[in-house]
Amino acid sequence: MAATPSTELASRPAFYALARGGWRDYVTLLHLPYTTWHLSYVTIGAALAPSFDLGRWGATVLAFFLAVGIGAHALDELHGRPLRTRIPSRVLTLLAAGSLAGAIAIGAAASVYFTPWIAAFALAGTWLVFAYNLELWRGVFHSDAWFALAWGGFPVLCAYFAQAESVSVEAILATGFAMTLALAQRRLSTAVRRIRRQVRAVRGELENVDDTTTPISAATLTAPCERALQLLSVAVVLLAAALLVSRLA
């Protein structure tokens, strides 16, 4: 049976990736649907705290945007070029170093003005970025469980602590929610990434009960997962926005 070409998918390493070159590479590097999803966890954690300070929330969001939205993704692209951008390695290194330094500076300032324990969160977050994105120690920390902790549970717990300066039962439950949702994200995105980045062609067909057949293509395999990811990213942002509005009202 003839192979179904996946040229269009292969040319785009992610559904949100723009055409290669120039400023478009930097937009692609941000992984915008996933970055907004991740920052929504920050807002959810902060909004669940018994007291809510807008300045603390803004600083926490900025720190995570720098550390993950820019720093982690720059390191990820530096390690293997999964997005196939043309951003020079030197620029990626500068982006990673500068953004992580900014995030650490915010954490250091917060630990001085509020509580020293925030420094522990800042150090833990920095370690997670390097261990996960650079796949240190033969990738032992580049797993589903560590992704769920670093990209799901940690931002919720950190943002809650930044507001309340303590940890509560609701914070632990929300951390579990974020970790579970992050695991679902990881399972869906892993399947899609393999087809977009590693599969050259797809062969096969579905035999329907009415004796007709439906060809299997790369698009038919990726579309349901990607649509689910798109909807989940919007749903989490809407939940975060609702909680934020409720605290500002």
DSSP state of 150: I
Q: What angle do CA 200, 205, 206 make, to 5 degrees?
A: 135
- What is the C-alpha end-to-end distance of the chain, expressed in Å? 61
Rounded distance between C-alpha atoms, residue 181 and residue 148, angstroms: 8
pTM of the model: 0.91
CA distances from 211 to 4, 206, 217, 244 (A): 21, 10, 19, 53
The lowest-confidence range among 105-114, 175-184, 188-197 is 188-197
Per-residue pLDDT band at 7 (split at 50, 70, 90)? low
Please report whether residue 217 resides in a domain. no
Please report whether residue 28 resides in a domain. yes
Q: Is the pLDDT of residue 3 over 60?
A: no
Please report whether residue 86 resides in a domain. yes
Give the pLDDT of residue 150: 93
Give the pLDDT of residue 137: 84
Rounded distance between C-alpha atoms, residue 214 and residue 196, angstroms: 21
Please report whether residue 188 resides in a domain. no
Please report whether residue 193 resides in a domain. no
Give the pLDDT of residue 31: 96
Please report whether residue 231 resides in a domain. yes
Give the pLDDT of residue 10: 59
Q: Which domain holds residue 59?
A: 9-183+222-248
Two tokens at 171?
């914070």
Q: What angle do CA 33, 36, 38 make, to 5 degrees?
A: 105
- The arithmetic mean of pLDDT across residues 147-152, rounded, is 94
pLDDT digits (tens, 9 = 90+) for 191-247: 899 998 888 888 899 999 999 999 998 888 999 999 999 999 999 999 999 999 999
Please report whether residue 215 resides in a domain. no
**Helix pair 154-164, 117-133: axis angle to 10 deg:** 170
165: domain CATH number? 1.10.357.140
Chain position carrying tokens 């807008």: 54
Please report whether residue 239 resides in a domain. yes
How many structural domains is the chain composed of? 1
All residues at 6 or more sequence positions from 61 whose CB lies less than 8 Å from its CB, including other chains = 39, 42, 43
Rounded distance between C-alpha atoms, residue 17 and residue 6, angstroms: 16
